[in-house]
Structures are given as C-alpha cells and as structure tokens.
C-alpha cells in the first residue's frame, strides 16, 4: 500500500466513522490524513504484530481530536481489524473520539492539547540518553500552539539537542471556532520555531512528494552536527478532499449527515480514488446521490468572530474564507477610526 | 526531611541507573549531592512544570523511574492535567515530589503554601499519596515509592523536622504507624495525623498524657490508600478520633478517615483539625501560621481537652 492509497482510505474511513458515530472533527481528519499516511507507509518503523516492539519509532498524535485518522491508519496497517473502525464512539468500543493508548499501536493517549510534544520530548530525551536509535514523531495542530506548554517543550527539545525528535504541524490555519489569525494571531510561525532553536521545514502538507522530501530532509538534519530537533510545518487545508468541507469551520464539529452531506462527500472522494483501492463501504460510490438544495447554504464559512467585541477599537478579523474554494482571503488590517 | 529525601535518592540512584531526578529549576544547594554523584541521572527542566511532568511521563514510558521535584504547588497544581492524563492514566512510573507541604514556606505567602494538594492528588485515580511525618518516615517512604511501579505523590516538609521515630521500622505503603497507646481510665482518644505536623501532634499528645489522657496515636504516612484497618481498630476502641493535617480540612486526610468511618458505621465521633477552608492571608513563620490556623501544639491540645 502506498501513501496515496492509505491517505484515500483514511479519508474514506474518516467520513464513514464520523457519519456512523455522529462524531466530530472530520475537518481535522481530512487535513492530517496525508501526514499520517506518509508516516505509516514510508517513515515509521513499526511492527503491527508486536505493537510494543522496543525498537519501534514512537508516534504521538498530539492533536488527539483527529483520532479517527490515526485509527484508520493503524487498522489499515494491521494493528487491528478494519472492521473495528465502525465501532468508533460506540458503547463498549475501544475507539474513543480522542486517541487512546488502550489501542494497539498507540503510544500516548491525547485529547487535551499541548501535552504531546512534551511527552515526545521526554521519550526522545530518554532514547538519546540511552543511545538508542529509535526516533520520536509528534503530530500537532497549529491551533494547539496556543497552549503555552507547547513552547515549554520547544525550549526543552532544543536545550537537550533532541535531534531524534521530529514534530509535524498540521497547519490548517483553523481552530475550533475560526481561522487562527482571527483567534490568536500566530505571526511568523516558522520564525518562532527557528527562534526556539529548531530546524524548520515548510511544505504543502497535503502533497505526498513534498512530505516525503521533508522527512528525508529531517533525516539529514537528524544526522547532522547541529543535533537540533526538527519541525515540519505542513501547510494543509482543513477538510481537504471534500470541497464543501474545505476551509469551512462548520466541519470542525459537524459530521456528514444522511442525505447530500454523506452522499456528496463519498462521491467526491470517489472522483480521486487511486487505482486498485477498494471502498469497503460503498464500492461504487453512491449511485443515486442526494444533492444539496437551494436552502443548503453550503458555501458559508460559518466563522463569525467579527461580530464579537464590536466596540473594540482594533479590528480582529484578518482572514475570510472564500466560498466554494480552498482559498483564504486576507483582509486589510486597519484601525477603526 | 528534604535532605533525607535527597540522600536516600542518591543511594537508590547509584544502585539503579533507571532512577532519574528532574527539577523545575528549584533545589539550589539541596539537590547538589544528587547532581554531583549521579550527574547522568539529573535534569533541570527549567521553570516549566507542565513540560517537566509530561516529559517525565515520556521518560517513564521508556523504562525510567522519574522523580519530578519542585516546591509548594508547582509540581502538582501547576501541571495537574499532565499528572492526570500523561502520568496517572498511563500508569507511568513518575514520582511527584513536593517540598514544602503545608505552611513550610510561611512568610513567602499564599502562593507557596501547599494546602489543598493532598485533596487534589487523592482525587486522581492511580496515584498513591504519601506524606511522611518525620525524617525517618521520609527515608523509608522514598525507598518504598522508588520500588512501587506507578505514579506517586510524595509530600515532604522542608528541613529540620524532629525525628519522632527513634529507630527504623518496617514501612509499608498504605500502613499507618502506631506511636503510642496508653491504657488509662476515662475516654479514649485516637489521634491521627499525616505529614510533618506529626511533630506538633506528638508534643500535644505528650502533654495530654501527662494530664492523664488516654491517647492512641498513629502517624499516617500514606493518605491513599488509607489504612482502613488502623481506622477500624481505633473506631472500635476509641470514643473520639481526632485527625490533624497541615492542609485544608476539605478533601484531605481527615476526609479520607471520615470516608472510612462513615462506611464502618461505628459510633465514634471524629474531630477534623486543619485549615478551616480558607486561604492564608496572615504573614509569618510556619510555626506562627500553624498556631494562627488552629493546628499548633497548643490548639491541638485545647481541642482534645475540650472534648473531654
């Protein structure tokens, strides 16, 4: 299975899992899918038959709300049965909405943001002290970087020269309620990490060729004299792969409901199904799909923080979504007179 | 107590190189013996307790036994969620060490008083809560938790505590230690305490004994799991059980004993001595604040005498 195939499967499972369970965070699952896919097909050393194998690379999904993406990858890679994915969120299931270490292949339970990088740093620190060659990968969200503990970990990882630590930021520019710039503006993100002493690689995080090259570069950094931790800032689009979910904050929490939402999401994925990949849920897509009607305002971005603090002298809204595309429009920042 | 802890940990760490000590940039001078003798097992994680605690979990999940060290509320409340999610939930072998339980840092003010920590740590599943009462208990407790495979909270005093126990004894996590049991006529009073307030409690008990009181005294170096058996034995024998802690009366040691008593259904009355659910606004030494907040030797004695 190559990374494109796995990424497609993660997206398809993600749609099915959230659809069946009424679960949230499909937007994040779709944005991180390519990062997770490339990690599990091309980068990580693991043994699905022996999940606790001592020589495995450690992998922490710090943005635990995208757990469905990780579960899908683990199942497809043989850690547990693909069939089990359908139990996501269900009574008696192992697959909680946020990542759980009770599942084979998971090194750390997450869900509260800002923990993963610190734990990853502790793991990398120990592995380095013990002169072991395993690497530690941590996948974070950019919204997660609002948490101060992320920056504590950034200091620690540089100070102890944790060159065996590779962090990947799923930089989808959105968080729970709005674009990041409209929430807590993250100026010069790459420069911040550079300023904390990290090697910084910035790429298109939905592009597998670029992801693989970035990991290759990270590997060169790891073996270089500088002994610095590396961060890959993977610029992604929230909701990537399903056009009406892209850059639309609604899909941080909404799940694809029965009807046009589910039908159109599935059929859109089918337009880009890699040859030879089988869709176990809807092998041929949906033959008679329901389409949205006039009332379904599918291109609204649902962000609305500009309506808050209307008397506040500084204009806080800096980014608008451009309807029906994965683009963002930056608004001129100005002072209200 | 602090120095005893460090000395004991140095001995243990020399024998077992999996033992690691991490500090949140505190312990100047105090931790020196450790970093001098076990430099490879020492880390200053900086003034960043959340990261320190989560990183300790990461280390523990890769085979280390990590002691995180700081003072007051910094190793606990400041990084509570890291303790809950990263350490306890993963059953990580992390020992959280607080120097300065109670009013140790008296004059430094409320920010430095650890007076709700027992209650909060006790409420987290998977955490063993150990509060030694004197240097002997501190030494034995340190050894015991180092061997215990899971997340523990070790609440220490500072330095200069009186040795109450004259010799070492068999220490077991979850077991209270009987200090005295005098057979006299009249009402029987069981006195339980946890942590370094043991000194004041013992002095109060000494003087009560001189006044012919019938006292059973126990030190409880472990608050969780609570020594159910010791409580039960005393509940049957005594007319009143007095619990004393240098801590809020809510949720801490007294509450742990009350939970046992409530389920036992004995007739024994309980008096809880501790800080009366308030923050400290007064300024002064540990001794002064103990008196002001009702847990100094005189006040303990008074409370027990009033009962008779």
Kindly report the CATH number assigned to the domain that includes residue A202: 3.40.50.970
**What is the pLDDT at residue A314?**
75
CB pairs under 8 A between A and B: 88
B-chain residue closest to A159, CA distance: B45
Paired sense of beta strands B128-130 and B222-224, if any: antiparallel
Nearest to A115 among B60, B63, B82 (CB): B82
Going from the C-alpha of A212 to that of each of A303, B118, B163, the distances in angstroms are 33, 49, 63
Q: Do B62 and A149 touch (CB under 8 A)?
A: no
Q: Do A155 and B51 touch (CB under 8 A)?
A: yes
pLDDT at residue A335 greater than cutoff 50:
no
pLDDT at residue A337 greater than cutoff 50:
no
Please tell me the distance from the alpha carbon of residue A100 to that of residue A109, in angstroms, as a whole number.
Answer: 4
Q: Do A107 and B61 touch (CB under 8 A)?
A: yes
pLDDT at residue A333 greater than cutoff 70:
no
pLDDT at residue A230 greater than cutoff 50:
yes
Q: Where in chain B is the domain with CATH 3.40.50.920?
A: 177-307
Q: Do B90 and A125 touch (CB under 8 A)?
A: no
Domain B177-307 CATH (choose: 3.40.50.920, 1.20.120.790, 3.40.309.10, 3.50.50.60): 3.40.50.920
- Average pLDDT on A221-250 reads 95
- Enter the DSSP assignment of A335: B
Q: Where in chain B is the domain with CATH 3.40.50.970?
A: 2-156
**Model pLDDT for residues A25-54, shown as the tens digit of each residue:** 999 999 999 999 999 999 999 999 999 999
The 10 Å Cβ neighbour count of residue B159 is 13
**What is the pLDDT at residue B194?**
98
pLDDT band at A334 (very low <50, low <70, confident <90, very high): very low
Measured distance between the N- and C-terminal CA atoms of chain B, rounded to whole angstroms: 34
Please tell me the distance from the alpha carbon of residue A306 to that of residue A249, in angstroms, as a whole number.
Answer: 14
Mean pLDDT, rounded, of chain A = 93
pTM (predicted TM-score): 0.93
Question: In chain B, what are the helix, strand and coil shares in percent, each to the nearest 5?
Answer: 40, 20, 35
**What is the pLDDT at residue A304?**
65
Q: In B195-285, which residue ranges form alpha helices assigned H by DSSP?
A: 198-210, 228-237, 253-264
**Model pLDDT for residues A278-314, shown as the tens digit of each residue:** 999 999 999 999 999 988 887 777 776 655 666 777 7
**What is the pLDDT at residue A310?**
67
pLDDT at residue A194 greater than cutoff 50:
yes
Q: Do A123 and B85 touch (CB under 8 A)?
A: no
Going from the C-alpha of B15 to that of each of B12, B19, B37, B142, B146, the distances in angstroms are 5, 9, 12, 14, 12
The answer, yes or no, to whether the previous bond of B225 is cis (omega within 30 of 0) is yes
> In Å, how far is A32's CA from the nearest CA of chain B?
23
pLDDT at residue A326 greater than cutoff 80:
no
- The answer to whether residue A115 is domain-embedded is yes
Please tell me the distance from the alpha carbon of residue A245 to that of residue A286, in angstroms, as a whole number.
Answer: 18
Length of chain B as a residue count: 308
Number of domains into which chain A is organized: 1
Report the CATH fold assignment for B2-156: Rossmann fold (3.40.50)
Please tell me the distance from the alpha carbon of residue B282 to that of residue B289, in angstroms, as a whole number.
Answer: 7
- The answer to whether residue A275 is domain-embedded is no
- Average pLDDT on A15-25 reads 94
Q: Do B58 and A115 touch (CB under 8 A)?
A: no
Residues of B in contact with A101 (CB under 8 A): 89-90
pLDDT at residue A336 greater than cutoff 50:
no
Please tell me the distance from the alpha carbon of residue B224 to that of residue B203, in angstroms, as a whole number.
Answer: 25
- List, in sequence order, every residue forming a beta bridge with B222; answer none if it has no partner: B130
Report B:43-62 residues touching A (Cβ under 8 A). 43, 45-46, 48, 50-51, 53-62
Q: Do B61 and A123 touch (CB under 8 A)?
A: yes
Please tell me the distance from the alpha carbon of residue A254 to that of residue A27, in angstroms, as a whole number.
Answer: 9
**What is the pLDDT at residue B186?**
82
Please give the order of strands across the beta sheet that includes B214-219: B177-181, B214-219, B188-194, B240-248, B269-275
Query: Which of B20, B38, B47, B54 to mutate to test binding with chain A, by most A CBs within 10 Å of its CB?
Result: B54
Kindly give the parts of chain B with pLDDT less than 50.
Answer: none
Q: Do A159 and B46 touch (CB under 8 A)?
A: yes
Report B:220-239 residues touching A (Cβ under 8 A). none
Give residue A195's domain range.
3-235
Nearest to A122 among B46, B57, B85 (CB): B57
**Model pLDDT for residues A109-164, shown as the tens digit of each residue:** 999 999 999 999 999 999 999 999 999 999 999 999 999 999 999 999 999 999 99
Please give the order of strands across the beta sheet that includes B128-130: B42-44, B19-23, B65-71, B94-99, B152-156, B128-130, B222-224
């Amino acid at each position: 299975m190559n990374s494109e195939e796995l990424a497609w499967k993660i997206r398809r499972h993600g749609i099915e899992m959230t659809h069946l369970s009424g679960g949230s965070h499909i937007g994040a699952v779709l944005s991180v899918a390519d990062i997770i896919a490339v990690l599990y097909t091309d980068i990580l050393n693991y043994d699905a038959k022996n999940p606790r194998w001592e020589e495995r690379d450690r992998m922490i999904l710090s943005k635990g709300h995208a757990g469905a993406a990780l579960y899908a990858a683990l199942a497809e890679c043989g850690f547990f049965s693909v069939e089990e994915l359908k139990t996501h969120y269900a009574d008696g299931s192992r697959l909680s909405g946020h990542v759980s270490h009770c599942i084979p292949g998971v090194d750390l339970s997450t869900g509260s943001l800002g923990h993963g990088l610190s734990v990853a740093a502790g793991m990398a620190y120990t592995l380095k002290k013990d002169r072991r060659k395993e690497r530690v990968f941590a996948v974070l969200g950019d919204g997660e970087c609002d948490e101060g503990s992320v920056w504590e970990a950034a200091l620690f990882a540089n100070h102890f020269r944790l060159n065996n630590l590779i962090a990947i930021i799923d930089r989808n520019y959105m968080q729970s309620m709005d674009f990041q710039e409209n929430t807590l503006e993250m100026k010069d993100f790459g420069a911040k990490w550079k300023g904390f002493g990290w090697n910084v690689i910035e790429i298109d995080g939905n592009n597998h060729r670029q992801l693989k090259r970035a990991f290759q570069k990270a590997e060169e950094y790891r073996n270089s004299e500088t002994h610095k931790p590396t961060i890959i800032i993977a610029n992604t689009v929230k909701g990537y792969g399903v056009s009406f979910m892209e850059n639309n904050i609604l899909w941080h929490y909404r799940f694809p409901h029965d009807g046009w939402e589910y039908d159109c999401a599935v059929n859109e994925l089918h337009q880009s199904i890699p040859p030879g990949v089988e869709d176990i849920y809807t092998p041929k897509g949906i033959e008679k799909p329901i389409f949205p009607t006039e009332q379904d305002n599918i291109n609204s971005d649902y962000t609305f923080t500009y309506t808050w603090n209307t008397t506040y002298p500084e204009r806080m809204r800096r980014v608008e979504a451009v309807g029906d595309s994965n683009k963002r429009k930056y608004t001129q920042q100005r002072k209200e007179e | 107590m602090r120095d005893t802890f460090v000395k004991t940990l140095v001995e243990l760490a020399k024998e077992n190189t999996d033992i690691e000590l991490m500090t949140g940039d505190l312990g100047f001078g105090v931790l020196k013996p450790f970093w001098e003798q076990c430099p490879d097992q020492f880390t200053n994680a900086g003034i960043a307790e959340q990261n320190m605690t989560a990183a300790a979990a990461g280390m523990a999940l890769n085979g280390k036994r990590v002691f995180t060290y700081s003072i007051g509320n910094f190793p606990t409340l400041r990084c509570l969620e890291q303790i809950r999610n990263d350490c306890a939930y993963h059953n990580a072998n992390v020992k959280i060490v607080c120097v300065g339980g109670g009013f140790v840092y008296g004059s430094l003010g409320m920010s430095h008083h650890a007076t709700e920590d027992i209650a909060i740590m006790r409420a987290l599943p998977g955490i063993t809560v150990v509060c030694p009462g004197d240097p002997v208990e501190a030494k034995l407790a340190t050894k015991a938790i180092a061997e215990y495979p899971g997340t523990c909270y070790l609440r220490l005093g500072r330095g200069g505590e009186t040795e109450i126990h004259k010799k070492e004894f068999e220490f077991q996590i979850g077991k209270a230690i009987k200090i005295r049991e005098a057979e006299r006529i009249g009402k029987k009073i069981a006195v339980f305490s946890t942590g370094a307030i043991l000194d004041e409690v013992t002095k109060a008990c000494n003087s009560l004994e001189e006044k012919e009181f019938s006292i059973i005294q126990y030190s409880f170096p472990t608050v969780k799991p609570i020594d159910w058996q010791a409580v039960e034995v005393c509940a049957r024998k005594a007319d009143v059980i007095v619990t004393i802690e240098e801590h809020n009366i809510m949720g801490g040691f007294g509450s742990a004993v009350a939970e046992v008593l409530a389920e036992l259904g004995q007739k024994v009355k309980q008096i809880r001595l501790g800080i009366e659910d308030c923050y400290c606004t007064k300024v002064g030494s540990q001794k002064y604040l103990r008196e002001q907040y009702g847990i100094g030797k005189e006040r303990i004695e008074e409370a027990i005498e009033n009962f008779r």
